[in-house]
Amino acid sequence: MLGVVSDLRRFVLHRPEIETLVEIRTEEERQDSNLRIVQRLPIDVEDYTVLNVHKVGIRTPARFAYEQLLRWTGDSTYWPNRLATVETLDRGREHIRVLFVGSVARAIRRWVGGVAPEFGTLFRLTALKLQHVPPPSEFDNARYLLYQCSGGYPIGVMCLYVRSPIPDLGEIEEAQFFFAVSFNFYGRRNWPGVTLVRAVWEFVHNRVTANVLTRFKGLCEAEFLEMTEGSHPD
């Protein structure tokens, strides 16, 4: 349980050094965001009540940041794996399960597996499209991992998206990394208590995601600096 406490301290209680949330305050901003997503991804998020997007600039080439993302495992130092444990179900990236406090969930499943085989499952991720190489028509060098979310509280989609900067948007860093989710709680647009549940979810999700992206940014930049400095003679 010490690992769980450490994750709570580092990812939930700790205030991140960078605020990464992309604010979507009005219906007009929501519609603009929906349009941008449809233009870039083979999905439509119009029917999902939740659209939550985080973004961080990384001082490395976009390809380098994306390759670091592909090296991700649940044990990566920038992910709270004791709190939200990641299980790869196919030794690849196509099928993933996320468990709440995985060590506890696994132990309980061993006792009640026949009755509750999905005990502790927060959600499952099934790959919709893994765009490892930008298509020739792509103008901003975009690469992404796009998943369908199911089997838990979010019924919708999740995307990890890396692209080059767009100067007109004031972006400076060579890599722009987006973490986006869009879904309905348990597949329903409206149900009693959803406002309170959403408020609690947004606080926890925004705090954890900002810490994850900040840590990921630091890891990428440190490794890129070490690689480039190491490639030059003294």
For residue 41, the domain's CATH number is 3.30.530
Judge contact between 161 and 134, C-beta under 8 A. no
What does the pLDDT average to over 141-151?
96
DSSP state of 116: -
Judge contact between 120 and 9, C-beta under 8 A. no
Residue with tokens 């998020």: 45
In a domain, residue 17? The reply is yes
What does the pLDDT average to over 96-114?
75
What does the pLDDT average to over 184-191?
89
Q: Tell me, what amino acid is at 33?
A: S
In a domain, residue 96? The reply is no
In a domain, residue 98? The reply is no
Q: How far apart are CA 180 and CA 81, in angstroms?
A: 19
Residue range of the domain that includes 156: 2-78+128-230
In a domain, residue 137? The reply is yes
In a domain, residue 22? The reply is yes
What does the pLDDT average to over 163-172?
93
C-alpha of 221 from chain center: 19
In a domain, residue 181? The reply is yes
Q: 1: which 2 tokens?
A: 């349980």
In a domain, residue 99? The reply is no
In a domain, residue 87? The reply is no
Q: What is the model's pLDDT at position 22?
A: 97
Q: What is the model's pLDDT at position 101?
A: 85
CB atoms within 10 A of CB 77: 10
**What pLDDT digit, counting tens, does each position of 12-67 carry?**
999 999 999 999 999 999 999 999 999 999 999 999 999 999 999 999 999 999 99
Report the domain count for the chain: 1
